[in-house]
Amino acid sequence: MSTIVTLPDQLTATLPKRSYLNEEYGLKSWLLTGDHKRIAILYLISITFFFFIGGAMAGLIRLELLTPPSDLMAADTYNKLFTMHGIIMVFLFLVPSVPATIGNFLIPIMVGAKDLAFPKINLLSWYLYVVGGILVLAALTLGGVDTGWTFTTPLSTHYLNTHVITAGLAIFVAGFSSIFTGLNFIVTVHRMRAPGMTWFRLPLFVWSHYAASILMVLGTPVLAITLVLVILERVMGIGVFDPAKGGDPLLFQHLFWFYSHPAVYIMILPGMGVISEVISTFSRKRVFGYTAVAFSSVAIAVFGFFVWAHHMFIMGVSNYSALVFSLLTMLVAVPSAIKIFNWAATLYKGSITFETPMLYAFGFMGLFTIGGLTGVFLGSMGMDIHLTETYFIVAHFHFVMVGGMLMAFLAGIHFWWPKMTGRMYPEGLSKLAALITFVGFNLTFFPQFILGYLGMPRRYAAYPPEFQVLNVLSTAGATVLGVGYLLPMLYLVWSLKYGKIAGANPWQATGLEWQIQSPPLTENFVETPVVDYEAYDYEWQANKTKHEVQTVG
Amino acid sequence: LDSQTIATHPEEEHAKHPPYLHHHFATVEQQKETSTFGMWLFLLTEIMFFGGLFCAYLIYQLVLPGFRRRQPLTVDRAGCDEYGGADLLELHHGHGRLLGRTPAAQGFDRMAAGDNFAGLGVPWHQGD
């Protein structure tokens, strides 16, 4: 099978003498760093830690659901498990996954800057994330929370005596981390671009992060104030969500979903940016309809703010508002479809090679499409009333979040790992991991569509015996999926010491990040780059490689 | 030997900037524009954060023009509990019908009839 991987001669190759990794040594140099690349690595370690905690909880959930009765744990323990799984995975893994790690590392380099606009605020955002994470762990160890990750009122405000306030504070703090990251990205893209780096020369990765940052900046404060109101309601009984005092629990739903639906796009848009880069590189073609793909990111961000009430179709919103929100929900499918079709068109007549990032990208395209289209089912009111609060919903958003976003995250990590570390991972093993992940994912979540359609409700520790076969399949799949996630963790760590030297541009890609050494210097560029070529111009890349003079020393 | 192009004298390049210019900016103007833009963007997030309060203020202003100028504003604590200002948000979102005529909605009825405004002890007058 053909490959585009081009590595330097391993007998003579070494890592660069100076890079961001060895500029300074010691824990303090990392904890007080202003370098966006080091902060990205800090984030990567942190989110991986929380991913495996959240993943362990998912494993326990699936183990409980192996048999119909609630036998492995008490029902309220199960409630706490799925709540903590949701909180950790959404707020501590998915939201920061691509933007705070890969985005943090790459956006300044991709726009030709030496750093993000506000390096200290970037570091502050990581500290806020850590404080949020510690508060979540505190809530967990003190006894947990069982509201569901959605903090539904009046359950969360009146009827539970678990650690809602601690968890709410955790998300409040972590939310500001997200706001600062988004703010930094927007300002960087506007003000820090290199000469010649026009808006339409920006890689699509930057466009999608820009769109996601708009959502972070405008949506997250609404979540923050909502959680403040929940906390005030619990502590002081202010009555804002309490009908007995003239409040309205549905107001909470409006406020919460005003953030939490756009949050889906905060999670998925950066993933779409990764896929654009990977598909283009491994089919050696400019992304088909660059402008359409760029604007579709912005369109998703804008439409994303006007669909929140589709989470409330069964909660008594008026028929008219349900109708309008149903229509608007369908509209979001349009820019999402533009992306999928344009990626497919990019592949058409491309010189496709099947390196690991590309395998994950293919996984993304298939699984996200299923996740997205089942979202259209759920946006239709008739279907929604039948399917909401069933396992169909669980399957739908896991197809989008795990099948889509996590696949994109892994695609991105495998694609830019050589740039981040200067070393390659074992290619055969990584392809195997991508395959295992894909099989494990489908085995885990596809049966859940059928379970939901048949009427199995979500968030119960027990279920009728006739649902067992599909649940056993799902639990078996989760085991396979677990192996699929553990493998990259192991071989990526292994590659830090034993991986082959990657060189500056192992994929022969066109982005600015591939024109500098791997791992990059602290200041990214020796001289400010002047951009005089379009994004994804492989002809320019080929000419450059042909005439390249290597400076060594 | 290194396997790729590396910086020849990056330390000097990096240390060139004057003390008032952060290392990652090319010019003072760029630095100033960036900080100004960042601050406006942060203020935008604050509008979203305190948006509920701003809305409440606007609604009060709409239904009670000039309510801020009424002095002294005596707040009926018991009434406040019953018809808290937060009800306005609830009314704004139009879910009164779900809950029947909520206390806040009743307050508006009375307000329209020239009674106190939402139980806050503020006399209702059309205009100033």
| A222:B49 CB<8 A | yes
Q: Distances from the Cα of A204 to the Cαs of A290, A346, A451, A524, in angstroms?
A: 8, 13, 38, 20
Q: What percent of chain A has pLDDT over 70?
A: 99
Cβ atoms of A360 and A411 closer than 8 Å: yes
Closest-CA residue to A379 (of A341, A418, A434, A323): A323
Residue A18: its pLDDT value, please?
95
A111 is written with which tokens?
């726009």
Q: At A457, is the secondary structure helix, strand, or coil?
A: strand
Q: What is the DSSP letter of A423?
A: B
Mutation target among B1, B2, B17 for the A interface, most CBs of A within 10 A:
B2
B16 has a chain A CB within 8 A of its CB: no
Cβ atoms of B57 and A220 closer than 8 Å: no
**Element (DSSP H or E) covering residue A42:** helix A36-64
Q: Which residues of A touch B90 (CB under 8 A)?
A: 240, 246-248, 251
**ipTM for the complex shown:** 0.89
Phi, psi of A496 (to 5 degrees): -60, -35
Q: Distances from the Cα of A47 to the Cαs of A53, A88, A100, in angstroms?
A: 10, 9, 9
B78 has a chain A CB within 8 A of its CB: no
> For residue A150, how many C-alpha atoms fall within 13 Å in the half-sphere facing its CB?
19
| B82:A115 CB<8 A | no
Q: Which residues of B touch A113 (CB under 8 A)?
A: 24
Residue B84: its pLDDT value, please?
45
3-state helix, strand, coil in chain A (%, to 5): 70, 0, 30
Query: How many residues are recorded in chain B?
Result: 128
Mean pLDDT of chain A: 95
Q: Which residues of A touch B51 (CB under 8 A)?
A: 221-222, 225
Q: How confident is the model at residue A51 (pLDDT cuts 50, 70, 90)?
A: very high
Q: What is the pLDDT of residues A269-320, one digit of tens each?
A: 999 999 999 999 999 999 999 999 999 999 999 999 999 999 999 998 999 9
Q: Which residues of A touch B80 (CB under 8 A)?
A: none
Distance CA B1, CA B3 (A): 6
Q: Which residues of A touch B3 (CB under 8 A)?
A: 8-9, 12-14, 501, 503, 552
Distance CA A538, CA A505 (A): 13
| A12:B3 CB<8 A | yes
| B42:A526 CB<8 A | no
CA A194 to chain centroid: 27
| B86:A217 CB<8 A | no
The answer on pLDDT for A83 being more than 90 is yes
Residue A549: its pLDDT value, please?
59
* pLDDT by 10s per residue, chain B, length 128: 333 333 344 444 555 678 888 988 989 999 999 999 999 999 999 999 998 888 878 888 888 777 666 555 455 544 444 444 444 444 444 444 444 444 444 444 444 444 444 444 444 444 33
- Closest Cβ–Cβ partner in A16, A220, A527 for B2: A16
Beta partners for residue A501, in sequence order: A423
Cβ atoms of B43 and A179 closer than 8 Å: no
- Closest Cβ–Cβ partner in A191, A250, A523 for B98: A250
Q: What is the pLDDT of residues A399-425, one digit of tens each?
A: 999 999 999 999 999 999 999 999 999
B87 is written with which tokens?
């009800």
Q: How confident is the model at residue A375 (pLDDT cuts 50, 70, 90)?
A: very high
| A246:B83 CB<8 A | yes
Q: How confident is the model at residue A2 (pLDDT cuts 50, 70, 90)?
A: confident
Q: Which residues of A touch B52 (CB under 8 A)?
A: 225, 229, 255
Residue B97: its pLDDT value, please?
41
Alpha carbon of B94: minimum distance to chain A alpha carbons (Å): 9
| A225:B93 CB<8 A | no
B44 has a chain A CB within 8 A of its CB: yes
The answer on pLDDT for A491 being more than 70 is yes
- Closest Cβ–Cβ partner in A116, A229, A526 for B10: A526
Which of A14-28, A105-119, A349-363, B82-96 shows the lowest per-residue confidence on average (mean pLDDT)?
A: B82-96
Q: How confident is the model at residue A323 (pLDDT cuts 50, 70, 90)?
A: very high
Angle at A79 between CA A76 and CA A81, to 5 degrees: 115
Alpha carbon of A553: minimum distance to chain B alpha carbons (Å): 6
The answer on pLDDT for A358 being more than 70 is yes
The answer on pLDDT for A552 being more than 60 is no
| A517:B41 CB<8 A | no
Distance CA A193, CA B30 (A): 11
B79 has a chain A CB within 8 A of its CB: no
Is the C-alpha dihedral spanning B29, A99, A497, A495 positive or negative? Answer: negative
Q: Which residues of A touch B6 (CB under 8 A)?
A: 16-18, 517, 521, 551-553
Mutation target among A128, A245, A252, A312 for the B interface, most CBs of B within 10 A:
A245
The answer on pLDDT for A553 being more than 90 is no
Residue A548: its pLDDT value, please?
67
Q: Judged by CB atoms within 8 Å, which residues 103-122 of B form the interface with A? A: 103-104
The answer on pLDDT for A337 being more than 80 is yes
B36 has a chain A CB within 8 A of its CB: no
| B86:A117 CB<8 A | no
Phi, psi of A274 (to 5 degrees): -60, -45
Residue B120: its pLDDT value, please?
43
Q: At A521, is the secondary structure helix, strand, or coil?
A: strand
Q: What is the pLDDT of residues A180-212, one digit of tens each?
A: 999 999 999 999 999 999 999 999 999 999 999
Q: What is the pLDDT of residues A517-543, one digit of tens each?
A: 999 999 999 999 999 989 999 988 888
B84 has a chain A CB within 8 A of its CB: yes
Residue B126: its pLDDT value, please?
40
Please provide the distance, in angstroms rounded to a whole number, between the alpha carbons at the two ends of chain B: 84
Cβ atoms of A501 and A8 closer than 8 Å: yes
- Closest Cβ–Cβ partner in A225, A527, A550 for B4: A550
3-state helix, strand, coil in chain B (%, to 5): 55, 0, 45
The answer on pLDDT for A1 being more than 80 is no
CB-count burial class (<10 Å; 0-12, 13-18, 19+) for A461: buried
Q: What percent of chain A has pLDDT over 90?
A: 93
Q: What is the pLDDT of residues A131-184, one digit of tens each?
A: 999 999 999 999 999 999 999 999 999 999 899 999 999 999 999 999 999 999
Cβ atoms of A504 and A552 closer than 8 Å: no
> For residue A528, how many C-alpha atoms fall within 13 Å in the half-sphere facing its CB?
13
Residue B81: its pLDDT value, please?
44
Residue A3: its pLDDT value, please?
85
Q: What is the pLDDT of residues A5-40, one digit of tens each?
A: 989 999 999 999 999 999 999 999 999 999 999 999
